[in-house]
Amino acid sequence: MSQVCEICGKKPQVGCNVSHAHNKSKRRFNPNLQRVRTVVDGQTKRIKVCTRCIRSGKVVKPA
């Protein structure tokens, strides 16, 4: 399942876990995505949206 925000296109980033001994292993930082019912072209649709888009008001929720 893709981890991409359908509004802003935010995707996972790649980084490292760093231990106390400074050993590094690869990891992914996933965006905080939520499945939200929203109005798209006059129809109610369920899309994956990051929490930043929800908070900033880029998502119109159905009445």
In the structure encoding, which two tokens stand for residue 47, read together? 């899309």
pLDDT on residue 33: 97
Domain membership of residue 39 as a residue range: 13-56
CATH of the domain at 23: 2.30.170
pLDDT for 10-47, tens place per residue? 999 999 999 999 999 999 999 999 999 999 999 999 99
pLDDT on residue 63: 82
Distance CA 41, CA 29 (A): 32
pLDDT on residue 5: 97
- Asked whether residue 7 is domain-assigned, the answer is no
- Asked whether residue 1 is domain-assigned, the answer is no
